[in-house]
Amino acid sequence: MSTLSRQTKIRIIAIPLALIVAGVWYYNSRGNTTGPEQQKKVAAQTIDEGDCVQNKGTENDPDLKKVDCGGAAADYKVKEQWPLDHECEPGLSTYQVTRKGRAQYTLCMEKVAG
């Protein structure tokens, strides 16, 4: 029968516990936008009602960029912006900004004729 020293038992418990705590911290800190430079970057990319956007991604994985409504790059015009989750009117495209799987806001957009 082997017996482990007290110090070994502590290591066996402490190391996985430290890894779990580090993992939880890492998961919760991803996407942290509290720095002043990040806030400026986010503010410049804010999309509001009446703005036009270009989809640089695909229909299933959109990547929207704010563009000039008079330019040829505009794919959609934002008709409504709603906080959290919202169902758009029929005929409008829906885009939701999410963080950690939760809707932050919803854009209801109409296709720009072009």
Percentage, residues of the chain above pLDDT 90: 20
How distant is the alpha carbon of residue 4 from its chain centre?
47
pTM for this one? 0.56
pLDDT of residue 32: 52
pLDDT of residue 52: 93
pLDDT of residue 42: 46
62/57 Cα distance (integer angstroms): 4
110/72 Cα distance (integer angstroms): 15
Q: Is 82:108 a contact under the CB 8 Å cutoff?
A: yes
Q: Is 48:78 a contact under the CB 8 Å cutoff?
A: yes
Mean pLDDT, all residues of the chain: 80
Q: Is the pLDDT of residue 39 over 50?
A: no
Token reading at 114:
């072009």
Of 32 and 86, more confident: 86
pLDDT digit string, tens, across residues 45-89: 588 899 999 988 888 888 888 999 988 899 999 999 888 888 899
Q: Is the pLDDT of residue 26 over 50?
A: yes
Name the 3-class secondary structure at 85: coil
